[in-house]
Each structure stands twice: as structure tokens, then as C-alpha cells.
Amino acid sequence: MTEKLAIAGGTPVRSGEYGPQHIFGEEDVEAVTEVIRSGVLGKGPKVREFEAAWAARHGAEHAITATSGTAAMHVAAGALDLDPGDEIITTPLTAGGSIIGLLLQNCVPVFADVDETYNIDPKDVEAKITSRTRAIWVTHLYGNPCDMDALKAVADKHDLYLVEDCCHAPLAEYKGQIVGTLGDIGGFSFGGKHLSGGVGGAVVTNNDSLWERAVIFSDVALPRAKGPWEDRPYQHYFLAPNYRMSDLTAAVLLSQLGKLEDYVENKVRAAKDINAGIADVEGIVPQPVRPDDRSTYWVWGATLSDEAFTCSAQEFVDALVAEGLYDFLGRTFRLGFRFNFN
């Protein structure tokens, strides 16, 4: 390569502003306006409509909304009715929001190693199980599905819950099945991810008992009319947060839901283009995706060989930023790198 890198004073390969991460149109404005005019801005009919639509999109019996992906994963923890000191085997390669709820429930995260896909290694999960283990807590990192058959086999063998963090992975597929209902309960984020309401999250489950407790947990443990426990006295039954989604957020999500597949396809197409473009570049190995799976690429991940690159990880990122290919807001396409030090 004879061209001077931008970080060394050369001309960047890209200049100008990126476009918006999500496209909002008049239909979204009308959806929000309808809610404002209705006078019901809190949790109301639009939330129920979105919960039904999200459950149906995943072939799930139930969906419970929350205020964020972090909140959704806390709702998942609350649904399991965990005890202080319970051990939850999870991945060290994830966002902090995935396990904040576990810590708030006074549980102990136990980190298992990851495999070549950057996802949790089922073999190491089984090696970490003790008498205190209650659940396996997996993240479909960057939108790439975990090895769910192997993880479910371990969970079933040891009578453990299997929880999916799908915040990176809406519409991702494991062997043709959409993630989120492959375990006992799965959580999603709508805070600027593939589907965006600005804020918001949800969990899906086919387990009636988990649904019941998730609904109660997400709403300060109060029984509400037309909900679980509605025949019980109106009182707080345990310590729980207020994660009620508003109809304003739900209206935007309902309007955006029809655009989700196109958004995901754009992500997948961009990832394929990057993979093709770097195919002959030594030392960059994209995050492996199993042939029967579909990653939805919230982040395009790659491993960089320390033998092929003499720079540090930060220097590599700085060079990309200088070329105009990436900014830390990731407004068009997020990148994630790890160095392979052998």
C-alpha cells in the first residue's frame, strides 16, 4: 500500500456526516400525536398492542414491556424469583446492562469462558456449575446466536433456567428459529438498537409462571386490573421497580415495527460487504457465524492478530476514525475488535 493513511496526514477515504441511524417519518409523528390526543400517555392500549405484536413476531405466548434493555434483563431476573447468593453463569463479554439486574437481586455472576464465536462456551458453563447455580445467562453477542442446543442440554441436565439476552439480536436466528424463545425467557432492547423507540425493552416467554411474575415485578409488585393477581389485595408483594413503558414509546415502536426487517437486512448486507472487502487482508478474522445461523450484526466484530499488526488496539481504532470509517457513536455501523494474543 503506497497511499498515506489519514492518521499520518493522508486524505481520509470518507468525509462528511453519516446519515441518521433510524428513519422516522410522518407516520411516526402521527402515531405519537394520536396518543397525545387520546390523553393516555402512560401504560395503556398501545403498550398492550405492542406486547401482542412483539410476542406474535417471536411465536411467543407472552411479551412484557419495560423501559430499557437493562430493565428488561432485570425483569427476567425478577421473573426467576432468585434468592440472594444464587449463582448465575454468564459471559464476561457482554454489556454491563445484561447483568446489572442480577447484582440488584443480590445474585453472584459466575463468568464462563467464550468460544471462537465470542459467545459463551457450553463446555465451560457446565464446568462452572455448583450447588448454588440457578440459571445460565447468555448473550447473543453483536447479534450472533449462541450454541443454544448445547446450552439447553446443559440447562436441562442440571435443571437450570436458560435466559437469553437478545438486546443485540432482534430477528437473529439459530438454526432457523428466532432467538428469544429458545430458552425460558429472553430480553430485548429498543433504545436505539435495530428497533428504536428512543427507549424501551421487553421480555418474551412461553412460561406462564414466568410471565405472571415478570408482569408483577415490572410494576412495583402491585396487582393490577386485568392482570396477574388481580384478585389479590392491592398491596406491594415484594421489592420491585417501576419499569412501565408509556404509550408514547409503544406508539413509536408499533410504527417502526414494520421497518425492522429492512433495517436488519441492511445490517446483514453491510456486514457481508465488509467481509468481502477484507477477505484478502491478513490478520483480520470476522466473528464466525455458524452456517445455519443468522446474525443481525448490531456490531460487526473481528479478531485482529497481534502477529499481523504492530499497533495497539486503540491505535487501530484511531486510524479508522481518522479515515472517517467509524465514530464512537456508531451511527451507521458499529465495529467491535479484539486482539488475539497467542
| Alpha carbon 157 to chain centroid, angstroms | 26
Kindly list the distances between the CA atom of residue 287 and the CA atoms of 116, 142, 144, 312, in Å, as whole numbers in the listed order. 8, 9, 8, 19
pLDDT of amino acid 329: 41
The predicted pLDDT at position 333 comes to: 41
CA distance 302 to 169: 17
* Side chain identity, residue 30: E
What confidence score (pLDDT) does residue 338 get? Answer: 52
Percent of the residues in the chain that have a pLDDT greater than 70, as a whole number: 94
Task: Report pTM.
Answer: 0.93
> What are the tens digits of pLDDT across the range 106-163?
999 999 999 999 999 999 999 999 999 999 999 999 999 999 999 999 999 999 999 9
- pLDDT value at position 37? 96
Q: Best-predicted range by mean pLDDT among 43-57, 272-286, 297-311, 316-330?
A: 43-57
The span from the CA of 87 to the CA of 64, in Å, is 25
Confidence (pLDDT) at 336: 56
User: How confident is the model over 291-332, as pLDDT tens digits?
Assistant: 999 999 998 888 888 888 888 877 888 888 888 876 544 433
Class of domain 26-257: alpha beta
Please, where in the chain does CATH 3.40.640.10 lie? 26-257
pLDDT bin (cut points 50, 70, 90) of residue 342 is: very low
DSSP codes, 134-187: EEEEEE-GGGPPP-HHHHHHHHHHTT-EEEEE-TT-TT-EETTEETTSSSSEEE
Q: Are 222 and 236 in contact (CB under 8 A)?
A: yes
Q: What pLDDT, in 10s, does the model give residues 201-233?
A: 999 999 999 999 999 999 999 999 888 999 999
Say which residues have a Cβ less than 8 Å from residue 16's Cβ, sequence separation at least 6. Answer: 324
